[in-house]
């Protein structure tokens, strides 16, 4: 699979950032960060020249329970009134096999920035059948410690480790032609 080099805009309707943790040994709930805004620069010939930058507005945080959403957005956890977004900005992209990449970058939550390594898979690449522009799709995974970002309330009863799964689709903007 060969993706076209270019600057891609993340499609928030087809981008999902899911986090999952263990709750007191009983369950493994999830929450979703929606409304992702970001740009992916992909260099097919030299992936090390690729980069990604994403902003996740905490207004898009959804645990599928309104009362719990309020708690997650409170000062106990994300303090969304004071810190309305989380961000990720890559610092290094490396090929890790066929259609696989390792993306290292800085994750910032509550003004605390720590390095994170994402294991990334290129799911698909080609002309988007509806938009008629080059498109790519990726999945990525990582595990972080929420206490590293000041979101460690109730640990260790509520696990400090949080699994993150990302799926995203991105398209070249019509006013920015892809490079062949």
Check: CB of residue 7 under 8 Å from CB of residue 40. yes
CATH architecture of 6-172: Beta Barrel (2.40)
Whole-structure pTM value: 0.93
- Binned at pLDDT 50, 70 and 90, residue 3 comes out as confident
pLDDT digits (tens, 9 = 90+) for 17-55: 999 999 999 999 999 999 999 999 999 999 999 999 999
pLDDT digits (tens, 9 = 90+) for 145-172: 999 999 999 999 999 999 999 999 999 9
The size of the chain, in residues, is: 180
Check: CB of residue 143 under 8 Å from CB of residue 161. yes
pLDDT digits (tens, 9 = 90+) for 96-148: 999 999 999 999 999 999 999 999 999 999 999 998 899 999 999 999 999 99
Domain ranges of the chain: 6-172
Residue 69: which H helix or E strand, with range? helix 66-73
pLDDT of residue 9 exceeding 70, the answer is: yes
CA angle 11, 14, 18 (to 5 degrees): 115
């Amino acid at each position: 699979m060969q993706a076209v080099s270019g600057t891609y805009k993340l499609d928030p309707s087809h981008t999902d950032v899911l986090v999952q943790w263990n709750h007191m040994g009983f369950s493994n709930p999830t929450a979703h960060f929606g409304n992702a805004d970001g740009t992916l620069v992909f260099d097919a010939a030299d992936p090390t020249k690729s980069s990604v930058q994403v902003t996740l507005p905490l207004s898009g945080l959804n645990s599928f329970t309104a009362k719990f959403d309020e708690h997650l957005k409170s000062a106990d956890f994300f303090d969304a009134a004071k810190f309305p977004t989380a961000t990720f900005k890559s610092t290094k992209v490396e090929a890790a096999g066929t259609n696989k990449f390792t993306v290292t970058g800085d994750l910032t939550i509550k003004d605390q920035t720590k390095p994170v390594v994402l294991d990334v898979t290129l799911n698909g690449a080609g002309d988007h059948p509806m938009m008629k522009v080059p498109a790519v799709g990726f999945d990525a995974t990582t595990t972080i410690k929420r206490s590293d970002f000041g979101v460690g309330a109730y640990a260790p009863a509520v696990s400090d480790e949080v699994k993150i799964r990302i799926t995203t689709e991105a398209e070249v903007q019509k006013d920015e032609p892809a490079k062949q």
